[in-house]
Amino acid sequence: MKPSILFVDDEKNILQGLRRMLRGLRDEWDMDFAEGGEAALAKLSEQTVDVVVTDMKMPGMNGAELLDRISGLYPHTLRLILSGEADTEATFRTVTTSHQFLPKPSNSERLVEIIRSALRRRDAVGNAKLQALVTSVGCLPVSQATHQQLTDLLDEETASLDLAADIFSVEPALAAKVMQLANSAYFGIGDPAVSPKAAATRLGWDVLRTLLLNHELALPYPADACKALYERTIAQAQETAELAAWIAKQEGAAAADVAQAQLAGLLHCLGRLLLCHQAPEDYAKVPALVTAGQMVDEAEHQVFGSHHAALGAYLAQAWALPPAVVDAIQHLHEPSNLAADEDRGIPLLAAHAALGIVTSQHAVDPKAAASAQLDADFVARQGCEAKVDAWVDGWINRGTAA
């Protein structure tokens, strides 16, 4: 069955222009066009729609109000919003209901590629129920420590933007969200922010404060069956990010590649955090299966029919995170599945190696354990098989140098 795409605008000539521009995609997509929000809801009530692309500024029901309704009624739908003018109040309403905020007029080729890429990542998830878990989430909870830090920061009369940016840059849920927002058409200015800290700095404290106070951007993870696992996963992600950045620097990577390696390491667990948040009772079964001898991905497949990497990549793609980071999230565990010209270089290599080393650091023989965790074919293809031991030593002995 072809994906179904619904375009919404209150101007007939714009919809007609879209029809003409996208006519060549009729064999790939089922496309429909709705004149205004009410007409869009009527069509959604009659048919399954995979992606909605709506204008923001419309009379009656504007784009923000439409996405509010769609996110509640049709959570499986990918939601993109177009805007030619910045309406601060309306834009803030879309923080948790839109997946991407794009400029209007939008380049048709770019729009097509955005939709294609998101659908490709969605299809890798496979299960429709799991796909809806991704598109229904507006933001993920944070660790208790981060929640407390932000609470304290909000209580200060004069808060430090640098401190806030530091907090956002090491918490996976906030890092992903702030990258999504800072590089959107509304908040983005100039070149894309390459790191969560740069993204948070671009938004500024006033915007961050508004997001934290009014949009539940940093709720702590609740005390349920996955709380301890959620906290451990975040801690492991922070270590993986730190080591990935170090490995990238050892390889002489450019600053942008170091930032992407660090972000890939931090967000490699995005799908696991999503499952813990959206389906805690089910995900609580996974550690028990691992204890009984299964690999994590095998246990996740048994419980959910998919692996956390596919869900994390779909969420990262939906939020328009950097392509190298999205690829690293999806292929971090088995990078040799990518063709040689698709491996995205340093970010994937550094994050893959970092995860293997971090998860092996407490083994009797960390070097042997790390080597066993890594994809040998991929590491060899990168010419780095002789470097793994040095990376292990560098991580284990970090902070001990004079």
CA dihedral (12, 14, 18, 21) in degrees, to 10, reads: 120
Check pLDDT > 90 for residue 77. Answer: yes
Q: Assign 194 to helix, strand or coil.
A: coil
How much of the chain, in percent, has pLDDT values that exceed 70?
95
Check whether residue 240 and residue 208 sit in a common domain: no
Check whether residue 322 and residue 198 sit in a common domain: no
Longest CA–CA separation in the chain, Å: 69
Check whether residue 181 and residue 38 sit in a common domain: no
What are the tokens at 209?
Answer: 């404060």
Check whether residue 242 and residue 390 sit in a common domain: yes
Check whether residue 238 and residue 355 sit in a common domain: yes
**What pLDDT was estimated at residue 402?**
38
Number of Cβ within a 10 Å radius of residue 152: 11
Check whether residue 206 and residue 260 sit in a common domain: no
Check whether residue 199 and residue 237 sit in a common domain: no
User: Contact, 86 vs 186, CB < 8 A?
Assistant: yes
Q: What predicted TM-score, i.e. pTM, was given to this entire model? A: 0.94
Q: Which CATH number goes with the domain that contains 50?
A: 3.40.50.2300
Check whether residue 172 and residue 286 sit in a common domain: no
Is there a domain that residue 189 lies in?
yes
pLDDT digits (tens, 9 = 90+) for 271-300: 999 999 999 999 999 999 999 989 888 999
Of 27-41, 76-90, 243-257, the least confident: 76-90
- The residue type of 161 is L
Distance CA 315, CA 328 (A): 13
**What pLDDT was estimated at residue 125?**
94
Residue ending a domain, among 90, 125, 160, is 125
Is there a domain that residue 134 lies in?
no
- Band of pLDDT at residue 243, cut at 50, 70 and 90: very high
- Give the DSSP letter of residue 77: S
Instruction: Tally the domains of the chain.
Output: 3
**What pLDDT was estimated at residue 105?**
74
Is there a domain that residue 48 lies in?
yes
- The residue type of 197 is K
Is there a domain that residue 90 lies in?
yes
Q: Which CATH number goes with the domain that contains 268?
A: 1.10.3210.10
Residue ending a domain, among 96, 125, 154, is 125
User: What's the domain range around 179?
Assistant: 144-214
Check whether residue 158 and residue 283 sit in a common domain: no
Number of Cβ within a 10 Å radius of residue 376: 12
- Band of pLDDT at residue 189, cut at 50, 70 and 90: low
The set of residues, in sequence order, having a beta carbon less than 8 Å from that of 256 and lying 6+ positions away, is 194
Is there a domain that residue 222 lies in?
no
Is there a domain that residue 272 lies in?
yes
Distance CA 391, CA 389 (A): 5
Is there a domain that residue 79 lies in?
yes
Check whether residue 264 and residue 368 sit in a common domain: yes
Check whether residue 12 and residue 37 sit in a common domain: yes
Check whether residue 66 and residue 43 sit in a common domain: yes
DSSP letters, 88-101, are HHHHHHTTTT-SEE
Residue ending a domain, among 161, 193, 214, is 214
Is there a domain that residue 287 lies in?
yes
**What pLDDT was estimated at residue 341?**
58
